[in-house]
Every structure is written in C-alpha cells, then in structure tokens.
Structure 1
C-alpha cells in the first residue's frame, strides 16, 4: 500500500513536470485521457493513479515513470509542503489538538519555513524532555526486574566480548591498556587522552575522525580508563542509535557497562576462576578482583552476571554511600530491600543493621567485613568492602542466603546482625527513651539535597552539554 507521503510526493512531481510544459490540468487531462479534476486529486495526493496513466503522463511531459515515482521532492517548495504534511500527521502535533495549516498558493515559502521551524523546535524539546523523575525511576526499576528475571546475564554480549578479545590477541591475565588500544584500532578508532574533556561526559567519540577522547586519569570510585574506552567502543559494536527515551538510554548504559565487564573479566577465564574457588570453598570478591586487576565494585557486579547462571546460587549486590543510601543494586535472593511506591530501590536507605552500613564502623577497612544478618526473609551472609571518593565514602556488598555461605571465605565469622526492616521500629524510629528525653528540645539544621531541585537531565544523551561537546570536538579536530 502506498503511503500518504509517497502519494503527496508523486503528486508534486507530476505538477512540477506539468507546469514545466506550461500545461493546465485540463490540457494535460485531454492528452492522457482523463478529466482535469481527476488529475487534481492525483496532484494533491488524494488518489493513487494507475500505472498506465503514469506512463501516459510521463510520455506527454517528456520524462519517465521512474522519475515520477522518485521519493525526492521536485523543488524546494514541494519539499517544504511535504515536510509540513509529515509533521502535521505525526503524533506529537496531533496531541496538541489544534487544526493543521492548509497550504495554499497564497502562503509564501518564508511562512512555511517559520511554521516548520516551530515544528522542529517542538520535536527537539520532545526529544530532550526524555522523562520525568518518576518515569525515570520506573524505567530503572523495570530494567532491574527484567535483568533479575534473566539472572543479570546477557549471553550475546558475553560472546561478542570473547570474540573481540580473541581478535586482539588477548589470551589470559588482566586486560592491558595496550590490548584495549588494539581493540579500538581494529574498530577504526584511536584512543586519545586529554585534560579538557567536557565536564558532562566521561568520554567523547569523534565518529568523523575515528577518535575516542578519554580523561588522563581514572575517575575516583571505579571508572577506570580501560572500562571507559571499552564502553565507548561498545556503542559502535552494539549498533546503538541515539536513545529515544530514558528507558532506552538506561538499557544502552547497562549494555556498554556489561560489555566492558565482559572484556575486563572474560566469561571463560572468570568461570574457571570462580568454579575452582567454589570447589575450594574459598570464593571471595577480593580474590576475583585481584586476579583480573579491576575494582572491587566491578568484581562484585561481575559475580552477579555469572554466579547464578553458572554456579547455581542466588545472591545480592549493593553499593551504598556513607549516609546509607543505595546507589546501585541487584538481588535475586529475596533479600528484604527498601523501596518506594514505584518499586525503586535506588535512593532508599538500607537498614542500619546490614553489613553495608555497619562496615563503616570497622577500624580496619583494607579487608572485607563479614557478617550474618537475620531478616524476616531468612538469614543472609555478606562480605562488605568500604572505599571512598573525593566526595564521600561508600561500601560494596556481595551476599548470599545462609545455605550458600559455605562456599565463601569468611563464613566462619561470628559477627551477626538482626534486621526487622521494613518494620520502622528496626532502625528508622528513634529509641523511646531518647525520644522522651529530646523530643521538642532539638532543632537540627537539615542538609538540603540539591537533587530535590535539579530537573532530570535533558538532551538526547541525558545530562550531556551538547554545546560543550561540539566545541571540544571542533577544537581537537583541527589538531
């Protein structure tokens, strides 16, 4: 079936050739055997002509059917009218509930340009206003639940990473910066480290000149240079297009992080390491981390990709800041986690009695902190490592249900906690005696969280300052 836009373009091309031969509708109609009114309907995109009629029109106007059927508008005016018709037929315009502009000969090209300019700006703003905060949280929750249902495991990306590593000559051991550079070169990119990278971007890829710009040093808290380079490459390898909404953006971010993790800790080698550690009853995030030269967080998250799928264990992962706020989470072992009405866990306060928070009180923070925690859903064993960034401290926790603790180092710990959360009496409600002593006698000055006032990042790539990025690229393209 021919679309309305295709019929409109065809009509414009017929009109163009008719006027080029100074023929009226009736004059052309007489020569091709139809009424001028019939031709008018065709030229206005209201009726689809038969092939035999098109052949006659082509003959009379000195062209051919292929030219008449071209998808290209015959002139600038036709292009404007076709673009306007397409814009007014779109969902975005129809949602406004206002009547479309009817194009007549009396409407000049400049007027059409102005109307189209408004449509383009409307579309641009729609693309930038990618989600409300609630929509973003729901999208994040849906993605987390989807990944939970598939064991946080993406086999296609696993296989792609192994293929790329093999092509670059990586056999075993920690992935070197040189090998990452070879992987980039095989994709047609050069890695360039600069000190003036835009503040809103971790990396910038110049598709025209085949360059991936990276900062000169790793970002505190876990974003290593190898990982950032691999993430930038993953966008190309996975065929990503600019995200259409916030859910799409989050999915792409998850995929590039997953690809980087697969390269830094390849499935085959990682599984061999983890299976041997399980056999020895000596599983430990810190050993896994050191074997592949990655951060504690990366090693913990990588275990969530492999342990359930290949070792038959459920588990949980938490990154928690110094105030107890969850910033990253995965669980498929039914650990009771706080969540808001949308089902979102990120941004919630974890129980004070979980090792993710109690570990901050430990004097020795250079090793993992082990703890059993009794909860309404059963007893869980956890290993927690603390760290810090320039802004705050954080903890990384990997844990399993009690029955699976036998496979991990640190299972002999006598440290034990009890959590009755989400019961507020557990840790969110103050002690009754202290309440009686201090209620109505305290007036703390609250710390205002600026994210309360910050809008959700806008733009095709949320939070990225396009003006800064384009100026940066233009500067370095000339070098």
Structure 2
C-alpha cells in the first residue's frame, strides 16, 4: 500500500511541530540516524521513494498512518517525530523556509532559494540573519505608532539643543531670496513665481490631487501640482515653498520615519524662512523688544502669514536673536496637544517615550482657557503659576477644516516685560503633572457619578493603526503614480 491509499485523516498543517517542512526535516534526521537510504525505507514501508522525498522536503503533508509506519522503521514514537530538530543545520533550514514563505517575504516579493544539502552553512546562516533583521525592522515599524513617537521626541530634543534655530536653512533661504531680488516685507506672489521659475519648475493646479497629499512634484517633467480648492489647514504659498524645499535641500526618499519627520521639519522651516526672512523679521522683533511691545500678531501682519506660522517663526528667532527662551503649543479644543516646543523649562505632559503630541494639556493653562473666552478677536493673555515657575502666555483661537485649535506662545515671568499684554490681570494655578490638578475628577462629582456613567468613547483609528506604509508615510503610492500618469 502507498501513501495515496491511506484513508486516515491528515495531520493539521500548522506552524510548529506539524508544519510540513519542519516535519520533513525531522524525518530526514531520523532516517540518517539509522543510516538508511530513501530506497531502503521505501522497501520496508511500501511508500514510494519519490513520495518519501516529497515528505522530507516539506512538499507534501503526511497522513497519520504513514507517520506511524515510519516511526516503527526508525524506532521512534510520534512524539519523537514532532520534537524539535537537534541538528543546528536542520533548525536553520526550517527557520529559513518559514521566513521565505512568510507574508512579509511575499509582500516584499523576496525570491525563495532552494535549500539543498549542498548549501554552505555560512550561506544558510547569512540568509536566516538577513531575514531576521528584515522581520525585526518590520515589526518595529508596524507593531504600534511607537516608532513615530520615539523619532518625534528625539527630533524635539535636537531642536531644543539648537534653540530651534537652523542656521544652514536660514542661509539657503537668504541665498535664494537674494537671487530673485527680495528686499523687505511680505513675499509676493510674483517673487514666489520667480523662485519657482529660477529652479526650473512650472506650476499646475489640479482638482484631483490624491487625498493623502498637499502637493505632488513631478520630477520627470519639473512640474508642481497644487490643489485648486483652498482649505483653512494649509496656506497655498507655504505648501508650494515646502515642495520646492525638498528639491533645494536635496532630500532623498526617506528610509525611516525619523528621516521623514526631519525632512518635514526642514521644509517647514525653509518655507518660513522665505515667507518671513531672517533679516527683516529680526529687525522687526528687535525694534518691538526695545519698545517692550513684542506681539505675534504684529509679526503675522508684517509678513502677511497666519498666526500659527508667525508663532512657529517666533520660536526660531526668539532665543537666538532676542535671548528669550520660549514655548509653543497648538492645542485642539478637546485639550489634546497637536504640536509643541519648549526651551524655557515649562513642563509639558509626556508619555513614557518622551512624546508630547497626543497628550492632554492642563485645563488651567492659557492654551485651554482661551477656548472659554468670549472675545475671539483679540489675543488672550494669562499668567499661570506652575510647579516649575510662573509663565506668561498669549493665545488665539483659529478655525481649521480639521477642527478648532488654540495657538499659544509662552515665556518665563521675567521675560514677560518685553511683550504687549503683560499687564493682564488673568491668572491661574496649575498643579500638573499632579493627577489631582485636573486629570482626576473632583471628589464630590466622583461620589455622585462613579459607577453610574458609561460614555461611548470616540476612538481615533490612528491611535490603533500601524505606521502608514509607503515610501512617504501616509501617502498612497498607487494614487500618486496614477495621478502623474493622468497629467503627464
């Protein structure tokens, strides 16, 4: 009787002891321990030698009665057949086989190699090690968003060490502005056109940009595609200058999420250095400091940019040129921090990886208090006593397509003397990070409602999702290539 005549149930094809390749390597090991050839085992078992070869190479699943027959010939039990393979080489062969047929290998279209007894041991070791490293790297990237948070925290540490000032980017922006004849004031649409033409690009508006993009650059035909519809989230001039920044700064496709974030920081900074050039912006701020009238809204108006853009730019220049440490926040109306920076010692909430974004800010801070102020036209100014000292902060509420946000700039109490609005009588006290400050409900409310409330939480998908795949995280490569194909 041959294996094909056996009517018994097949063993489950699962990873581990019963996966065909592992079982096959174990059968080969036991056969060689007995000093038997395939032909000899075939003669004793009644199983064709070709079928035995398929079993040992993991190309065929074994039936239970077949394994019982082979176990008797090898003087082994069924447990022996499914026990780990003692041979180091056999273990490596099993490991490599699993890696080569894993979902990751299929996704990356990695070619499988034939594992033969003649394959040198060092080649086998190297292939297994390469697959392990690839799997480890992929696991770190897709298990959770931790890589992004860790990379963001590391980048913020570097920004703090540099006081958020990047001299090399300032120099690149100044060089480009000089070439197109900029002198002072807001960067005009005409000069932006001159910059674009000087770099060899043409501009095109499109109403079908991939939903995951702000702009798309066609490097083959030197075209930059911008959206037709305007949103409140992204200022068109800034989006264009950021796209040009990637080209001028010589960015390559990012190899890690950390590199992706760094490129974003650099292009955002570069665009701001063009819209609010260092020379004129510093002169404006130094004059305001001399008059003790520094105000972010004045910087905004002087260069015709958004309040958020002016706030960001202020953090670039304040410490370097005005000797004023500063902190910045952009906070959603829910109280969650979307962006933040500090070099003035303020204590932001952080997770165990040092990430600030995604953390709830104290409800007594200016960035939260401003949402309850009825006057949304003027800046809201407030002093806040914290365990780390007293800070003066100024904030405004801005409306975006993605929600309502506050943008807040703050400084130490001793530096408030340089700012307009320092005479405010608004004051609050924050005990954070003590949970008793605002993270824990008051005792009276807790007594009344603990155990009697069951809210349905609005879970954001990005909190659970892995890091977005693709060359540029979050961008669908297929959509981008199809878009360029349709416009080429």
TM-score range, shorter chain: 0.7 to 0.9
Partner of 1:366: 377
TM-score normalised by length of structure 1: 0.73
Partner of 1:435: 446
Task: State the 1:444 CA deviation.
Answer: 2.0
Aligned residue pairs total 368
Which whole-Å CA distance do the structure 2 matches of 1:454 and 1:102 have between them? 36
Higher deviation after alignment, 132-141 or 323-332: 132-141
Which whole-Å CA distance do the structure 1 matches of 2:244 and 2:359 have between them? 33
**Are the counterparts in 2 of residues 129 and 459 from structure 1 also a CA contact under 8 Å?**
no
Task: State the 1:360 CA deviation.
Answer: 0.1
What CA deviation, in whole Å up to 9, does each residue of 1:321-373 have, x standing for no partner? 01110010010011111000001111000000001001000111111100000
Rg larger in structure:
2
Higher deviation after alignment, 233-242 or 444-453: 444-453
1:314 is the counterpart of 2:325: yes
Task: State the 1:443 CA deviation.
Answer: 2.2
Residue aligned with 1:360, SS: helix
Which whole-Å CA distance do the structure 2 matches of 1:124 and 1:176 have between them? 50
* Segments ≥4 residues shifted beyond 6 Å: 122-129
Partner of 2:226: 214
Partner of 2:297: 286
Task: State the 1:389 CA deviation.
Answer: 1.6
Task: State the 1:450 CA deviation.
Answer: 2.1
Higher deviation after alignment, 229-238 or 170-179: 170-179
Partner of 2:266: 255
1:186 is the counterpart of 2:198: yes
In the alignment, structure 2 segments of 5+ residues that lack a partner are: 1-99, 106-111, 120-126
1:377 is the counterpart of 2:393: no
Candidates 166, 175, 182, aligned match of 1:163: 175
Which whole-Å CA distance do the structure 2 matches of 1:128 and 1:341 have between them? 20
In the alignment, structure 1 segments of 5+ residues that lack a partner are: 1-87, 94-99, 108-115
Partner of 2:184: 172
Partner of 1:303: 314
Task: State the 1:103 CA deviation.
Answer: 11
In the TM superposition, 1:9-158 aligns within 5 A as: 101=113, 132-158=144-170
1:236 is the counterpart of 2:236: no
**Are the counterparts in 2 of residues 172 and 269 from structure 1 also a CA contact under 8 Å?**
yes
Partner of 2:6: none
Alpha-carbon RMSD:
2.6
Residue aligned with 1:327, SS: strand
Which whole-Å CA distance do the structure 1 matches of 2:397 and 2:231 have between them? 17
**Are the counterparts in 2 of residues 338 and 422 from structure 1 also a CA contact under 8 Å?**
yes
Partner of 1:357: 368
Candidates 346, 367, 391, aligned match of 1:335: 346
Task: State the 1:216 CA deviation.
Answer: 1.8
**Are the counterparts in 1 of residues 231 and 401 from structure 2 also a CA contact under 8 Å?**
no
**Are the counterparts in 2 of residues 128 and 458 from structure 1 also a CA contact under 8 Å?**
no
Higher deviation after alignment, 258-267 or 171-180: 171-180
1:410 is the counterpart of 2:421: yes
Task: State the 1:265 CA deviation.
Answer: 0.3
What CA deviation, in whole Å up to 9, does each residue of 1:1-42 have, x standing for no partner? xxxxxxxxxxxxxxxxxxxxxxxxxxxxxxxxxxxxxxxxxx
What CA deviation, in whole Å up to 9, does each residue of 1:245-281 have, x standing for no partner? 1111111110000000000000000000000000010
Task: State the 1:220 CA deviation.
Answer: 1.4
TM-score normalised by length of structure 2: 0.72
Residue aligned with 1:348, SS: coil
Residue aligned with 1:426, SS: helix
Cα 1:126–1:142 change in 2 (3 A) is: closer
Residue aligned with 2:292, SS: coil
Residue aligned with 1:367, SS: coil
Which whole-Å CA distance do the structure 2 matches of 1:412 and 1:311 have between them? 21
Task: State the 1:454 CA deviation.
Answer: 2.5
Residue aligned with 2:406, SS: strand
Cα 1:443–1:101 change in 2 (3 A) is: closer
**Are the counterparts in 2 of residues 261 and 298 from structure 1 also a CA contact under 8 Å?**
yes
Partner of 2:483: 472
Which whole-Å CA distance do the structure 1 matches of 2:391 and 2:137 have between them? 46
Task: State the 1:438 CA deviation.
Answer: 1.6
**Are the counterparts in 1 of residues 396 and 406 from structure 2 also a CA contact under 8 Å?**
yes
Which whole-Å CA distance do the structure 2 matches of 1:128 and 1:476 have between them? 37
What CA deviation, in whole Å up to 9, does each residue of 1:209-228 have, x standing for no partner? 1100011244313x211111
